[in-house]
Amino acid sequence: MKRAVFLDRDGVINLDRAYVHRWEDFEFVPRALEAAARLSTAGWTVVVVTNQSGLARGYFTEEDYQALSRRKVETFAAHGAPIPTVYPHHPSSRVAALAMDCDCSKPTPGMLLHATREHGLSPAESIMIGDKPSDIAAARAAGVGRAYLVASDNERSPTGGADEEAVGADGAFASLADYVDHLLAHGG
């Protein structure tokens, strides 16, 4: 089984600008593409898992979301960080066709478990990087070995004011790139 680094989207790999769904509004967090490429080169499978409440609220369409995701996947690949797919979920849907009860929306583990099954990943040997306590909770529920918080561009601290121990994080870093620097230098 392969090991993975699960990445939340908004606030971790792109600047969190509330319901980003057009490529021209999508802006990567500084050094995020480089960090993902370094993970890939080091043998990690990079997987994006993202709640997409804007889709659920009808702020944009599934086609809008898929077009953005294709561009994102292409950009990751062009920078040396192929991602197998992006796993989205649309919690609390107001859009009738998307309304359903399931275990996918973080903090539940469904997206992570689906990705592990689909790509032969070992949860215990994998890592989750997120900017919210719900990311950490989803990782714990999926049996992911380690889970870290990074600072969203909307927050001053990596924990967003939350106590990292209280949310079950193994640590907190200023950015994805800072965590990758740590991981590759120290193995954890």
Residue in this structure with the two tokens 């995020």, named with its chain if needed: 32
- C-alpha–C-alpha distance, residues 117 and 143, integer Å: 13
Q: Give which of 148, 149, 142 is closest to 124, Cα–Cα.
A: 142
Say what angle helices 110-119 and 133-142 make with each other, to 10 degrees.
50
Catalytic status, residue 64:
no
Catalytic status, residue 10:
yes
With a CB cutoff of 8 Å and minimum separation 6, the contacts of 133 are 107, 162, 167, 168
Q: What angle do CA 145, 41, 125 make, to 5 degrees?
A: 15
Active-site residue among 8, 16, 131, 135?
A: 8
Task: Give the residue numbers annotated as catalytic, written as ranges.
Answer: 8, 10
